Structure 1
Amino acid sequence: MANAASGMAVHDDCKLRFLELKAKRTHRFIVFKIEEKQKQVVVEKVGEPAQGYEDFTACLPDNECRYAVYDFDFVTAENCQKSRIFFIAWSPDTSRVRSKMIYASTKERFKRELDGIQVELQATDPTEMGLDVIKSRAN
């Protein structure tokens, strides 16, 4: 079903890959892209469980918008191993205005398709989603 605001559908593969990340932990991250011609959100890249945060951020283009999900493992002050699923709306200042508008208008509906997101971040440059930011938001 297409999103009323932007007319974008969500490809089934997006939900399938997200469920794999959430339930089976077979992926560390997923980068999603809006295919304007096909009018849908698709999976662009999937990260292996062994890949780290630097591998993930390297997958985000410098001047194009993306959605991404990152499974962040951390240890609490009480020494408990935990994990948080981050949803990141990547919208760099250098990306096209039309692209930013499409991503912004599709974001809420797309997020609803991915049941289990725990933390949301909006980033326009890498400093807004640095590892320090992720760590502080995880707790």
Structure 2
Amino acid sequence: MLQANSASGMSVSDDCKQKFMELKRKKTYRYIIFKIDEKLQQITLEKTGAPGASYEDFTAQLPENDCQYGIYDFDFTTEDNCRKSKIFFIAWSPDTSRVKAKMMYASSKDCFRREMDGVHYELQATDASEMDIDVIRDRAN
């Protein structure tokens, strides 16, 4: 329990907030991936994806054995032919990651999520099937 309490004191770097605003307002990025820096006790920027990046590009950047947070800007066309965009927050926590990492990410998620004002949907995924493109499409529609 001690780890969860200390982990909930995690701060979010200004860079994270700035990049999110750029994705949301200017469409500068297709996706952003964040990680927890245990030494700094801070959520930091890991990677960004160019506006032309695909969902497959995004999911390929998530580590197989470690937790991370991801923001993905999903563009789609509705049944009545309207172009829309929905921002997804994905808490990636694979079963194979360390218990301490899972605890830190789980206890810091709500605080981080509050900093990302403008996210439409949230997904928790422990394996790739839980965040498959079809899952994203279904949620967006």
**TM-score between the two structures when normalised by the length of structure 1:** 0.96
**Is the partner of 1:78 in helix, strand or coil?**
coil
1:118 Cα deviation (Å)? 0.2
Note the 1:51-130 alignment, pairs <5 A.
Answer: 51-130=53-132
Equivalent-residue separation in structure 2 for 1:125 and 1:42 (angstroms): 23
Superposed CA deviations along residues 62-95 of structure 1, whole A, max 9, x for unmatched, are: 0100000000000011111000000000000000
Is the Cα contact below 8 Å between 2:7 and 2:41 reproduced in 1?
A: no
**Hey, what's the Cα distance between the residues in 1 that align with 2:99 and 2:50?**
32
Q: How far off its partner does 1:4 sit?
A: 7.0
CA distance in 2, matches of 1:81, 1:4: 43
Match 1:22 to one of 5, 21, 24: 24
- Look up the SS of the partner of 2:52 in the other structure: coil
Q: CA RMSD in A?
A: 1.1
3-state SS in 2 of match to 1:133: helix
- Deviation for aligned residue 1:5: 5.6
- Higher fraction of helix: 2
Structure 2 gap ranges (5+) = none
Shift of 1:7: 1.9
TM superposition shift of 1:109: 0.4
- CA distance 1:48–1:74, shift in 2 (3 Å): same
Stretches of structure 1 lacking an aligned partner (at least 5 in a row): none
- Identity across the alignment (%): 64
Instruction: Tell me how far apart the structure 2 counterparts of residues 119 and 133 of structure 1 sit (CA, whole Å).
Output: 11
Contact 2:13 2:43 in 1 (8 A): yes
Q: Secondary structure at the match of 2:80?
A: coil
TM-score for the superposition, normalised by structure 2:
0.95
Distance 1:116 1:129, change over 3 A: same
- CA drift of 1:23 comes to 0.2
